[in-house]
Amino acid sequence: MEEAPTRVLRMFGLTLPPVFVLLLCYVCLGEHVFGLAYVIGKRLKTRARAVLRAVYFSSTGITAACLHLALLFSCGGTASACPPVRIKERNCLASTSVTAVYCGATLLLERWANPLLGLGHPVGWFARTCAAVGVMLTWSCIADHQLCAQLLLLLFTSRRALALFPGLAHLHGLLIKSYTVIHMSRILTQACHGIPKLAVATVAAMALL
């Protein structure tokens, strides 16, 4: 009988096509489709909008911080450029799966929340494409049991957890990106186990995120 972690990882592989279609819709739908959110946002009182925005940032930030720590503790290995890939372990797989779903769900939710609450997040085709590529690549890395999945999720969750501290978020993001570059170089020289094309794609995606 197939083990539960193997079944979960296979589900990520099977859901790649529908996730791709969903993210394609996310990218192709322009801001005018969410015009109702802009209208409602402008009709909200300034104080009410500010309170709702603070609640949104605090709730998503706290959730992201908890998921970020869960990833570090359940999937973290030794302080090495080639840590053990623990994605098939139950605790690591659980935190990885939940974090991936959280990142995908909040990405779609913010198409409404951004104009409704005035979150100030980047808009436009390029910003949407970069975000969608990041989520799609994360899904692919999870399906292929790659450490790059956790690195991408750590970057996403750190950005949300430190949304109110942009300087610290930028510094933390640079540390994650630097580690990813080192990990990629070790994979390309066959010093680490991994899929080279996914490692390169992860570094390229992080450069745009």
60-80 tens-digit pLDDT: 989 999 999 999 888 876 667
Report the b/e string of 29-63 with b at 16+ CB within 10 A. Answer: eeeeebeebeeebeebeeeebeebbeebeeebbeb
| Distance in angstroms (rounded) separating the CA atoms of residues 75 and 204 | 23
**102 pLDDT higher than 90:** yes
Count of structural domains within the chain: 1
Q: Which pLDDT tens digit goes with each residue over 118-165?
A: 888 888 889 899 999 999 999 999 988 888 999 999 999 998 888 888
How many percent of the chain have pLDDT more than 70? Answer: 97
* SS3 track for 28-89: HCCHHHHHHHHHHHHHCCHHHHHHHHHHHHHHHHHHHHHHHHHHHHHHCCCCCCCCCCCCCC
Q: How many CB atoms lie within 10 A of CB 155?
A: 24
pTM: 0.89
Residue range(s) defining the domain that contains residue 181: 4-208
Q: Which pLDDT tens digit goes with each residue over 172-185?
A: 999 999 999 998 99
CA dihedral sign of residues 143, 29, 125, 166: negative
